[in-house]
Amino acid sequence: MTEFSAVELIIAKRERGELTTAQIDWLIANYTSGVVADEQMSAMAMAILLNGMSRREIRDLTTAMIRSGERLDYSWLKAATADKHSTGGVGDKITLPLAPLVAVFGVAVPQLSGRGLGHTGGTLDKLESIPGWRASLSNGEMHSQLDEVGAVICAAGSGLAPADRKLYALRDVTGTVEAIPLIASSIMSKKIAEGTANLVLDVKVGSGAFMKDIDRARELARVMVDLGNDSGVNTSALLTDMSTPLGLKIGNALEVEESVEVLAGGGPADVVEITVELAREMLRLAGKTDVDVAAALSDGRAMDKWNQMIRAQGGDPAAKLPVAKHSHVIVAQDSGALTKLDALALGVASWRLGAGRARKEDAVQFGAGIQMHAQLGDTVVAGQPLLTLFTDEPERFERAQEALVGGIEYGATAPTRKIILERL
């Protein structure tokens, strides 16, 4: 590999220059091995945030990050593979009913998921509230479950895109999280390395999402769709609303409960809508268009697949889920339509109740969170229960309620909510 100087590359990007493929390969390989120091990569990340990268540079960065570790391969599977990635939100439990729903139709779903940090929840934390369920599987266990059940949701191994893991931690403490080239290469290096043939991106837009406005979300989605397709992964994206929470339950065990309601043919309409739409899109990319997705929720097939999937990872789908020791009811302060039920406010409140973590090493309370008794646009009467807060530590209620200040508003006219904003 040609030798370069980290300082020269930083200056080139600082001066709005384009880095060559060889320069990007050298930078990522040497950052992963420790030759390029954290402070040098911090400066490069800030230069990328300020000056951006071309489509070719982002593709090279993603490829170099994939090359830093292993790449999984499912070509031996008889079934086509499809995966979904969400950019994260509040009450976003969609992966839980979605994976078994898609698997019903003979498309294998290898879903490598993460844990929550801050106000956005993590799929693994939710599933770990099920007694006995385990997130860590060997590649062999994952392969046999995919072959036998058709769906697996588990933790990504340490061998996938190790350069991203290093860079992700650095971005978090250097004010460079928002750089679209770094977000896109981070997400797509892991997703491409995971080996799926088809990928649907659920890019959230709104106060509870990473991307607050639709223009930025659209830009991120386009960059990621291009990266996937350029790498041979059939990729599409939906832009979906995250200005208000999805469903009526926020928190780990609470969201599992709601997911099971959806799999049983019920559940909130918004959760059902986005689950069905994402399933249709995953199946479309995998070549299956003439299927009745909604029917698999109502007739029990998706629930059967869920039970299989949970049991395969040691979980008991019939076991009682953890329940918080303490609860506190918040009532409506006014009568009228709920014109604002802010996703960020409720996400932070749930996090403060113990449903999320401030640092990666923190534990979560499986029973903590919020149950909403009304959604955006619903009509309420002053004094009726609006939210129930749950936690094991009652001293958390006060700070959780502080997070809700300004997050709930009432009016005469109910706002209309569109969940699927755009398709790319």
Per-residue pLDDT of the chain (424 residues; tens, 9 = 90+): 678 999 999 999 999 999 999 999 999 999 999 999 999 999 999 999 999 999 999 999 999 999 999 988 898 899 999 999 999 899 999 999 999 999 999 999 999 887 776 677 789 999 999 999 999 998 899 999 999 999 999 988 778 889 988 898 888 788 888 899 999 999 999 999 999 999 999 999 999 998 899 999 999 999 999 999 999 999 999 999 999 999 999 999 999 999 999 999 999 999 999 999 999 999 999 999 999 999 999 999 999 999 999 999 999 999 999 999 999 999 999 999 999 999 999 999 999 999 987 776 778 899 999 999 999 999 999 999 999 999 999 999 999 999 999 999 999 999 989 999 999 9
Tokens 């889920």 identify what position?
Answer: 321
171 is catalytic: yes
In Å, what is the CA distance from 145 to each residue of 116, 150, 225, 314?
25, 7, 28, 12
Active-site residue, selected from the candidate residues 93, 171, 218, 249: 171
What topology is assigned to 326-411 in CATH? Aldehyde Oxidoreductase; domain 3 (3.90.1170)
Amino acid identity, residue 377? G
Amino acid identity, residue 312? A
Active-site residue, selected from the candidate residues 68, 185, 186, 243: 186
Range list for CATH 3.40.1030.10 in the chain: 82-312
Range list for CATH 1.20.970.10 in the chain: 6-52
Q: In what order do the strands lie in the sheet with 369-372?
A: 249-250, 369-372, 385-391, 326-331
> Positive or negative, the Cα torsion across 19, 20, 26, 32?
positive
Tokens 């999280």 identify what position?
Answer: 177
pLDDT at position 118 is 64
pLDDT at position 357 is 78
Range list for CATH 3.90.1170.30 in the chain: 326-411
Active-site residue, selected from the candidate residues 190, 249, 280, 396: 190
pLDDT at position 24 is 97
What topology is assigned to 82-312 in CATH? Pyrimidine Nucleoside Phosphorylase; Chain A, domain 2 (3.40.1030)
Nearest-angstrom CA–CA distance, 407 and 244: 10
Question: According to CATH, what is the number of the domain 6-52?
Answer: 1.20.970.10
186 is catalytic: yes
Active-site residue, selected from the candidate residues 83, 92, 164, 342: 164
Nearest-angstrom CA–CA distance, 262 and 306: 11
- CA angle, residues 45, 51, 56, in degrees to nearest 5: 85
280 is catalytic: no
pTM: 0.93
pLDDT at position 2 is 76
For residues 169 and 40, the answer to whether their CB atoms sit within 8 Å is no
Active-site residue, selected from the candidate residues 13, 59, 84, 85: 85
Nearest-angstrom CA–CA distance, 396 and 328: 11
